[in-house]
Amino acid sequence: MGFYTDIILPRLCDLAMRNKQLVPFRTRVIAAAEGRVLEIGVGSGMNLPFYRSPVREILALEPSPPLVAMARRASRGPRMPVSFLGASAEAIPLDEHCIDTVVTTWTLCSIPQAADHIETGYIPGPKPMTFMYEGSARPD
């Protein structure tokens, strides 16, 4: 942790992810979510305004405390409860069988192994789980 990590990087991330050209992707991805959602790498919360019913709860995982603070602000005026998990995708602090949808957008260049963990049942769910991502470095 330091000036770059605590101050510069979160602001750069927030600024970059405010790009309006990303809105159609966010709209399409988040519209497919339902039930209890785990969003991995929620960043400054740019996806949060797009969630609608049948999403009933959002668990927002983000390891950067400054980005969690920004995402908390973005989660005000809630349509559904949002809980923040200050943790990394490599060690998700959740029990098994508790997630209906996993969302992650523009994170897999930082955490490519998360996709493998999740796709191989790292967080097995009672219903078929939707794993959604856009703009990742993964070819598939």
Ligand X SMILES: C[S@@+](CC[C@H](N)C(=O)[O-])C[C@H]1O[C@@H](n2cnc3c(N)ncnc32)[C@H](O)[C@@H]1O
Instruction: Please report, as ranges, the residues that interact with ligand X according to CB under 6 A.
Output: 13, 17, 40-43, 46-47, 61-64, 67, 88-90, 105-107, 110-111
Minimum CB–partner distance for residue 77 and ligand X (Å): 18
DSSP H helical ranges for 1-140: 3, 9-17, 23-31, 65-74, 112-119
**b/e string for 58-87 if b means 16 or more Cβ within 10 A?**
bbbbbbbebbbebbbebbeeeebebebbee
Which residue, 126 or 135, has its beta carbon nearer to ligand X? 135
Q: Which is nearer to ligand X, 43 or 125 (CB)?
A: 43
Name the minimum Å distance from CB 98 to ligand X: 18
Nearer to ligand X, 81 or 135 (CB): 135
CB of 33 to ligand X, least distance (A): 13
Nearer to ligand X, 30 or 36 (CB): 30
Identify the DSSP state of 140: -
- For the CB of residue 109, give the shortest distance to ligand X in the complex, in Å: 8
